[in-house]
Amino acid sequence: MTYPIPPVSVEKSQRALTLLDLVAVLLVLGALVFLAEASHGLAQPLPEPGVSPITLDPAALPGYAARTTLRMLAAMGLSLLFTFTYATWAAKSRRAEFVLIPLLDILQSVPILGFISVTVVFFMSLAPGRMLGAEFAAVFAIFTSQAWNMAFSFYQSLRTVPEELGEAARSFRLSPWMRFWRLEVPFAMPALVWNMMMSMSGGWFFVVASEAISVGDTTVTLPGIGSYIALAIEHRDLGAIGWAISTMFVVILIYDQLLFRPLVAWADRFRFEQEMGVTPPGSWVLTALRRSRLVVRATAPFGAAWRWSYRLSTRAGNQGVMGGRQGRRGRRVDRIWHAAVVAVAALALWKIAQFVLAGVPLAEAGRAFLLGLATMTRVIVLIAIASAIWVPIGVWIGLRPNAARVVQPVAQFMAAFPANLLFPLAVSAIVAFRLDPDVWLSPLMILGTQWYILFNVIAGASTIPSELRDIGTNLRVRGWLWWRRIALPAVFPFYLTGAITASGGSWNASIVAEIASWGQNRLQAHGLGAYIAEATQAGDFHRVVLGIAVMSAFVVVINRTFWRPLYARAERKFRLG
């Protein structure tokens, strides 16, 4: 038996496409065209030795910008996958945490040139003689400048989920899969989005090293803004550098509007506390996608499949979260696990020592240690200065959503500004005024990493409950008392995440900052970063491994003796709920 279709349904079904449908279609088609154009030429053969595929013609910059942006977006996708797996495992398993967090400390301290020097030959062997292998190497190098910050942020959020939210999840008998996607990921999303922006900018900071690299006899130059900047610096072409800066600014504005503004507006719905009377962030892109009937219909099957996964996980049974109660047997397994980890670490250390000492005299290790002390001094001083400047500013911005929306693209551009672009100014000033490179090259180390502190403090300040601020206002808590009792405790866990990442990033940035060149002028500071950079350029893998090992040892010791105790204190004393 059939039923007539109501006239209203016929009218709706025959209604013409709306303007929002047209905008959404143009956005989707534009994204597809961008991917097609940017990926053009990936399967082409590598250029002949001595032939550079890069030109300083400004007309080539749009194509270079597309190639660089595609690499960074691919690396961002890999970083998200890494974050949701690695950080979750570390947060939910004490045994995994014992290994994964120190390993993350090591990974963020390994300079990007260290990753490139070890992996470039492997990735190029995946597609011999083709650009695709070099593209893999560049994407992986950019991934190493993005993933660690995001993983630390997500790990910190999972460890500080308010207890009342956990109790609600247990009361509703959510399965681990539902708890993760319905509670933990939404709670972590606002801070994660801010760190995604910072990671994207961090990728720009190291894009020169990832697109224009030289490891021994192996030279890889990929079309992109990074290689364009490297060539402009080599030719001392200030005009080309100006064009590169302008292109970077335009690209950052575009993906801020098309990617991060929609993400910020979307993640605002997951804030732990919503303040009345405050206009939520908006995005015309998100509005168009949400209100487009075509997009809703196209994404409906994915939503149905996602809901089906919830039902499937519920039928599988609520097994609880990882890392439950530990009895005698659990403690015994812990001791065995820790002993096995220590044994593997000792074996790895022995193998590294064998490899290094096969090509480097023992006295070289002492020299590398002293250079590490010099770099450590710079890092400590710079982090202290950056904290004193950006923590108050970050709290002020985070408490004012309108200010945050204005500052966001500006901070992204400043964080993306490669230190290499300041080489003309830095080298010229140091030579002209006969300054000490050991002192005046140091600020280049913090140029890109200080923003980790600002972005995380902004994210933390934006989560301060309005009730807490109202109580402070009613009790007339002002001045230093307000900072000590309200602001600093609220942002302290977020600040630690930013400071830990900024510290590791500063060690990483030392390979770029401790050696600066402009034309024939070359300045070098005494430090471990310069040591690793020189060894990488010479293709001396023994010294590269020695430098990376010493740098990793410094970072791990500092993190375990200073940052981690502060992190544990923040979890115990300064978590919401």
3-state secondary structure 260-281: HHHHHHHHHHHCCCCCCCCCCC
Q: In this structure, is residue 491 part of a structural domain?
A: yes
Residues 6+ apart with CB under 8 A from 342: none
Average pLDDT over residues 378-395: 93
Residues 6+ apart with CB under 8 A from 289: 24, 27, 262, 295
- Please report the pLDDT score of residue 13 as a whole number: 41
Please state, in angstroms and rounded to a whole number, the distance separating the CA atoms of residues 187 and 270. 6
Contact of 134 with 548, CB cutoff 8 Å: no
Alpha-carbon Rg for the chain in angstroms: 25
Q: CA torsion, points 391, 396, 398, 402, in degrees to nearest 10?
A: -150
Is the dihedral angle over the CA atoms 394, 438, 524, 219 positive or is it negative? negative
Average pLDDT over residues 439-458: 85
Lowest mean pLDDT of 14-23, 81-90, 379-388, 515-524, name the range: 14-23
Average pLDDT over residues 485-505: 86
Q: Helices (DSSP H) in 316-400: which residue ranges?
A: 328-357, 362-398
Residue 10 has pLDDT above 50, yes or no: no
- Please report the pLDDT score of residue 2 as a whole number: 43
- Please report the pLDDT score of residue 87 as a whole number: 93
Q: Helices (DSSP H) in 206-292: which residue ranges?
A: 207-211, 225-234, 238-255, 261-267, 284-291
The count of structural domains within the chain is 1
- Please report the pLDDT score of residue 51 as a whole number: 62
Average pLDDT over residues 247-253: 87
- Please report the pLDDT score of residue 378 as a whole number: 93
**324 band by pLDDT with thresholds 50, 70 and 90:** very low
Residue 169 has pLDDT above 80, yes or no: yes
Coil, helix or strand at residue 506: helix
Please state, in angstroms and rounded to a whole number, the distance separating the CA atoms of residues 61 and 68. 10
Lowest mean pLDDT of 23-32, 168-177, 179-188, 297-306, name the range: 23-32
Model pLDDT for residues 253-298, shown as the tens digit of each residue: 888 888 888 888 888 888 766 555 556 777 888 888 888 888 888 8
Percent helix, strand and coil across the chain, each rounded to 5?
75, 5, 20
Q: In this structure, is residue 333 part of a structural domain?
A: no
The position carrying tokens 């601020």 is: 469
Which tokens belong to 542?
Answer: 């023994």
φ and ψ at 213, to 5 degrees? -120, 150
pLDDT, greater one: 135 or 49: 135
Residue 230: which domain range?
47-282+340-573
The position carrying tokens 């934006």 is: 462
Residue 499 has pLDDT above 70, yes or no: yes
The position carrying tokens 């490891």 is: 215
- Residue 23 Cα distances to 256, 267, 471, angstroms: 17, 22, 45
- The number of beta carbons lying within 10 Å of the beta carbon of residue 388 is 9
Which tokens belong to 257?
Answer: 């509007």
Residue 391 has pLDDT above 90, yes or no: yes
- Backbone conformation region of residue 312, classed left if phi is above 0, alpha if psi is from -120 to 50, else beta: alpha
Which tokens belong to 325?
Answer: 């109660």
Q: CA torsion, points 175, 176, 178, 183, in degrees to nearest 10?
A: 120
Lowest mean pLDDT of 392-396, 427-431, 557-561, name the range: 427-431
Average pLDDT over residues 39-51: 68
- Residue 384 Cα distances to 80, 247, 440, 457, 499, angstroms: 30, 33, 17, 15, 9
- Please report the pLDDT score of residue 521 as a whole number: 75
Residue 47 has pLDDT above 70, yes or no: no
Beta bridge partners of 518: 521
pLDDT, greater one: 429 or 5: 429
- Please report the pLDDT score of residue 113 as a whole number: 62
Which tokens belong to 204?
Answer: 């720009």
Q: CA torsion, points 337, 342, 347, 351, in degrees to nearest 10?
A: 130
Average pLDDT over residues 2-13: 44
Contact of 511 with 533, CB cutoff 8 Å: yes
**429 band by pLDDT with thresholds 50, 70 and 90:** confident
Model pLDDT for residues 48-104, shown as the tens digit of each residue: 665 667 888 999 999 888 889 989 999 999 999 999 999 999 998 888 888 888 888
**Roughly what angle, to the nearest 10 degrees, separates helices 61-82 and 19-38?**
100
Residue 450 has pLDDT above 80, yes or no: yes
Average pLDDT over residues 449-466: 84
Contact of 549 with 352, CB cutoff 8 Å: yes
Please state, in angstroms and rounded to a whole number, the distance separating the CA atoms of residues 432 and 444. 18
- Residue 317 Cα distances to 33, 44, 151, 176, 342, angstroms: 44, 51, 28, 9, 36
Q: In this structure, is residue 405 part of a structural domain?
A: yes
pLDDT, greater one: 3 or 495: 495
**420 band by pLDDT with thresholds 50, 70 and 90:** low
The half-sphere exposure of 65 on its side-chain side, counting CA atoms within 13 A, is 18
Lowest mean pLDDT of 40-49, 339-348, 398-407, name the range: 40-49
Residue 576 has pLDDT above 70, yes or no: no
Report the share of the chain in percent with pLDDT over 70. Answer: 85
Residues 6+ apart with CB under 8 A from 568: none
Lowest mean pLDDT of 102-116, 158-172, 383-397, 494-508, name the range: 102-116
Residue 325 has pLDDT above 50, yes or no: no
Average pLDDT over residues 396-423: 76
Report the share of the chain in percent with pLDDT over 90. Answer: 12
Please state, in angstroms and rounded to a whole number, the distance separating the CA atoms of residues 550 and 365. 8
- Please report the pLDDT score of residue 18 as a whole number: 74
C-alpha triplet 86, 87, 93: angle, nearest 5°: 90
Which tokens belong to 344?
Answer: 């593997």
Chain centre to alpha carbon of residue 49: 34
- Please report the pLDDT score of residue 82 as a whole number: 95
Amino acid at position 431, single letter? V
Q: In this structure, is residue 35 part of a structural domain?
A: no
- Please report the pLDDT score of residue 6 as a whole number: 46
Q: In this structure, is residue 10 part of a structural domain?
A: no
CATH code of 270's domain = 1.10.3720.10
Residues 6+ apart with CB under 8 A from 543: 359, 360, 364, 531, 532, 535
**Roughly what angle, to the nearest 10 degrees, separates helices 488-513 and 528-538?**
40
- Please report the pLDDT score of residue 200 as a whole number: 85
Averaged confidence pLDDT in the chain:
80
Lowest mean pLDDT of 195-209, 251-265, 305-319, 534-548, name the range: 305-319
Q: In this structure, is residue 324 part of a structural domain?
A: no
Length of the chain measured in residues? 577
Q: Please give the span between the terminal C-alpha atoms of the chain, in angstroms, as a whole number.
A: 58
